[in-house]
Amino acid sequence: MSGFKFGTRELDLSQTQIMGILNVTPDSFSDGGQLYADNVVHLDKVLLKAEMMVADGASILDVGGESTRPGAKVVSVGEEQDRVLPVIERIAKELDVVISVDTSTPEVMRESAKLGAGLINDVRALGKEGALQAVAETQLPVCLMHMQGNPASMQDSPSYVDVIDEVCVFFQQRIEACQGEGIDKNRIILDPGFGFGKTVGHNLRLLNNLAKLDIANLPLLVGTSRKSMIGAVLERDLEQRLAGSLATVAIAVMQGANIMRVHDVKETVDVVRMTQAVMMESIDK
């Protein structure tokens, strides 16, 4: 799994990589409005945050222009492009980092690839019309996320007979759909979708059984940062969830996570390094 290609860059996924979250939205659940407000992308703020995340150890930056929290406002294709594309273009010119675009929109996928994106990260697992074809055209790797239902209703009443089995079946089906469109299996990353159509119990079961999601030896991306499962277990508000988030990082790394998608890069890097040192029973001096 070492030497995974992200466009013009390559990362060693045998070591857990850190993906920093850059939401250019007014309404994301944790950081909405910080980088995008009054219908304007604040590019200088975006670049400053991006530079800080890279300095702190992020090897991937995930740029998203559409909030997928329950009840979030629908974003038009044009509006999503206006939010995301200038950010990708600026980061690609300024920083040596893999740029991931968090989108389900085929037009955004194509244009992002032209501007320097190295990964398509789709919460809808290329389910939108034309998305499979768009990723095939870009020749970029793609992260397929599991979600039961859709963002508007996913948390109404999520139900599974066995969440592990059903997530695995979903991934197998989406991998086959990708291969049918000419997307090589070795370009696929899997994300179990913590908080997307799942109860707290479902999320905890997934986290405790990540190793069972080893499908065709494909890389796993895990995003638990600041999520409601942590708030529910610890009874903590958003600004008090760092310790809980870091605990889930350590568990995920020990369960084989290859990429951690997080808000708090510096602290996560320390946890990953310490966890991997214990797993290797040595310290890299």
* Catalytic center residues: 227, 261
Q: Which two tokens stand for residue 97?
A: 């980092």
Q: Determine how many CB atoms are found less than 10 A away from the CB of residue 264.
A: 20
**Residues with Cβ within 8 Å of residue 47, at least 6 apart in sequence:** 90, 91, 94
E strand or H helix that includes residue 256 = none
Report the Cα 108 to chain-centroid distance in Å.
Answer: 16
63 and 111 in contact (C-beta within 8 Å)?
no
Closest CA to 222 of 140, 146, 141: 146
Read off the tokens for 54: 């890279």
Q: Where are the beta strands (DSSP E) in the chain?
A: 4-6, 9-11, 17-23, 36-37, 40-41, 60-64, 98-102, 119-122, 142-145, 188-191, 221-222, 259-262
Contact 138, 111 (CB under 8 A): no
Distance separating alpha carbons of residues 117 and 101, to the nearest angstrom = 7
142 by DSSP, 3-state: which?
strand
Q: Is 42 exposed, middle or buried (0-12, 13-18, 19+ CB in 10 A)?
A: middle
